[in-house]
A and B are shown apart, each in its own frame.
Chain A
Amino acid sequence: MSAVPVSAVTVVPMRAAAATSGPHPAAAALAARADAVKAAKPTATGYRRARAPEWAMQLFAMLAGIVAFIALWEIVARQGGRIPGPAVVWKAAVTIFSDPFYSKGPNDQGIGWNVLSSLKRVGIGFGLAAIVGIPLGFMIGRFKFLSDMAAPIIAMLKPVSPLAWLPIGLLLFKAANPAAIYVIFVCSLWPMIVNTAVGVRQIPQDYLNVARVLNLSEWKVFTTILFPAVLPYMITGVRLSIGVAWLVIVAAEMLTGGVGIGFWVWDEWNNLKVEHIIIAIFTIGIVGLLLEQALVLLAKRFSYN
């Protein structure tokens, strides 16, 4: 069980950027990274000689990795299979991203619309999971009886692939879109419940003693002690959930159709436009990365010490 509130994937020093509250989380993450890169030089003054090479080495390694990846891709593409090389994909990507928000009927929309519809599904399913899962997690963490009650059910349902729930969703809602949202809901729910409950159980007795000594009201205990103490764990739950949700939405959309990045992948496969599938893979990856980074920033913002 992951109880670590802050991810180890942090690449750049984020402390300075933690207060950023841009209009869009992804944009904020980007801006934050830019800030951090800018800030890296002045903060390193004391250690300039020791640190500059390390920082440069890291950048160099990252670039080398990307170059190696593209080279490998090019080699694979030249073997004469049907995989398009980087240049072809780049050209197709320029075309696609030059007009990401066109709309020619329900089955032919720009990649921007597809990504946004997928994000919207994730957002709704995930928001519902938060509304249900966080209070449930609090109760399960606070009352042993409830925890004992829920433990076997959660343990059994957690390893089930979220897609196994899709038919039930289709049965219940008789429509593709709510069924996809429902799958997201189900897969986001477990990490949210489990992490919140763990967080509640980890609250040091000392903090609760402070509340007891002062005879704080239940509400005050919740707002000044339980909630802030559990927040980092909740954010970890959110981060895990978002990661899973973003994985699952692509598969769910392949099955349900409609507008969405997963469906787009399937559609392009039917059109045999392999370069578009590769573009979709990169797009999914980058959006996932941005979601993760935004939540890492959020976690930083709310971690103490």
Chain B
Amino acid sequence: MDRYLRIEDVGMTFETKNGSFVALERIDLNVKKGEFVSLIGHSGCGKSTLLNLVAGLIDPTEGGILLAEREIAGPGPDRGVVFQNHSLLPWLTCFDNVYLAVERVFSDKKNILKERTHKALAMVGLTAAEEKYPHEISGGMKQRVGIARALAIEPKMLLLDEPFGALDALTRANLQDELLKIVDKTGATVLMVTHDVDEAVLLSDHIVMMTNGPAARIGGILEVDLPRPRERLALAGERRYIELRTTVMDFLYRKQLKQAA
């Protein structure tokens, strides 16, 4: 399928106390099945808004979004969402947080559901922390539980909102590598918000660069033609990697900052 996710002429206007606020304007974007696409842009440009539109948490004021030929009408478990701030329920253990999602989506017997939950947590390396509560684990571990929760329901599409944003560089690198492996293994279609250039280049097939808000638009789409599997260390010195990186940096820090000033 060539156009698995189709975002067609989408605009988003928020009604606020001080009148209307146009967050997004005329967004057009197609994502192929199995593709990994990053949204990058300055803070407040509307990345989360676009992701929430695809998640179905908000409705576009203009245009429409289709997933696998069907219009998105509200949220649903065919899209796994990892929220910007993990959003684990503090009164449930890590296991139960994931189980909640698994139980909703699959209608297997209880022991099979549990098996799935164990597997999802094992995939992000959290088997030892299953019975812990969110406040008993580190920020990186919480984020991994969030990812496990989204992956466990085997969604058609994975929506990640700055999944590693709040983490230190080391943890971040580890989780990026893990995500790469998981995505390779499951072949999931991914839309990920980030403001980290290296992360975008390392993980994506395409990088969608957004202009500054208000009325943010897509400023350019960059194809990342680096072969997979990608190796963080090997890439760092490669010419093509540096070129791509520079292109994104140039967009963000020259074109967009100038425009904003």
Q: In the assembled complex, which residues on chain B have CB atoms less than 8 Å from the CB atom of A304?
A: 90-91, 133, 135
Distance in Å: Cβ of B55 to nearest Cβ of chain A: 6
Q: In the assembled complex, which residues on chain A have CB atoms less than 8 Å from the CB atom of B235?
A: none
Q: Mark B87-120, 1 if CB is under 8 A from A, else 0.
A: 1011110000000110011000000000000000
> When chains A and B are docked, how far (Å) is the Cα of A228 from the Cα of B57?
23
Q: Are A210 and B87 in contact (CB under 8 A)?
A: yes
Q: How many chain B residues touch the partner (CB < 8 A)?
A: 23
Q: Are A224 and B76 in contact (CB under 8 A)?
A: no
Q: In the assembled complex, which residues on chain A have CB atoms less than 8 Å from the CB atom of B256?
A: none
A225 at the interface (CB under 8 A from B): yes
- Chain A interface, >50% SS class: helix
Q: Are B75 and A216 in contact (CB under 8 A)?
A: no
Distance in Å: Cβ of A258 to nearest Cβ of chain B: 43
Q: Are B76 and A215 in contact (CB under 8 A)?
A: yes
A148 at the interface (CB under 8 A from B): no
Distance in Å: Cβ of B209 to nearest Cβ of chain A: 26
- Chain B interface, >50% SS class: loop
B81 at the interface (CB under 8 A from A): yes
Q: In the assembled complex, which residues on chain B have CB atoms less than 8 Å from the CB atom of A206?
A: 83, 85, 87
Distance in Å: Cβ of A225 to nearest Cβ of chain B: 7
Q: Are A305 and B135 in contact (CB under 8 A)?
A: yes
**A228 in complex: contacting residue of B76, B80, B91, B101, CB < 8 Å:** B91
10 A-B pairs whose Cβ atoms sit less than 8 Å apart in the complex: A206-B85, A209-B57, A209-B87, A210-B87, A210-B89, A213-B81, A214-B153, A215-B104, A224-B100, A304-B135
**B90 in complex: contacting residue of A209, A214, A305, CB < 8 Å:** A305
> When chains A and B are docked, how far (Å) is the Cα of A213 from the Cα of B161?
14
B77 at the interface (CB under 8 A from A): yes
A97 at the interface (CB under 8 A from B): no
**B57 in complex: contacting residue of A207, A213, A224, A225, CB < 8 Å:** A213
B217 at the interface (CB under 8 A from A): no
> When chains A and B are docked, how far (Å) is the Cα of A304 from the Cα of B133?
9
A158 at the interface (CB under 8 A from B): no
Further 18 A-B residue pairs, CB within 8 A, beyond A206-B85, A213-B79 = A206-B83, A206-B87, A209-B83, A210-B89, A212-B57, A212-B75, A213-B57, A214-B100, A214-B104, A215-B75, A215-B76, A215-B104, A216-B104, A225-B89, A228-B89, A228-B91, A304-B133, A305-B90
Q: Mark A192-213, 1 if CB is under 8 A from B, else 0.
A: 0000000000000011011011
Query: A213 and B55 in contact (CB under 8 A), knowing A206-B83, A305-B135?
Result: yes
Q: Which residue of A lies closest to B155 (CB)?
A: A213
Q: Which residue of A lies closest to B81 (CB)?
A: A213
Q: In the assembled complex, which residues on chain A have CB atoms less than 8 Å from the CB atom of B57?
A: 209, 212-213
Distance in Å: Cβ of A87 to nearest Cβ of chain B: 52
Q: Are A215 and B77 in contact (CB under 8 A)?
A: yes
Q: In the assembled complex, which residues on chain A have CB atoms less than 8 Å from the CB atom of B104?
A: 214-216, 220
Q: In the assembled complex, which residues on chain B have CB atoms less than 8 Å from the CB atom of A228?
A: 89, 91
Distance in Å: Cβ of B69 to nearest Cβ of chain A: 20
Distance in Å: Cβ of B253 to nearest Cβ of chain A: 31
| Residues 116-134 of A contacting B (Cβ, < 8 Å) | none
> When chains A and B are docked, how far (Å) is the Cα of A229 from the Cα of B91?
8
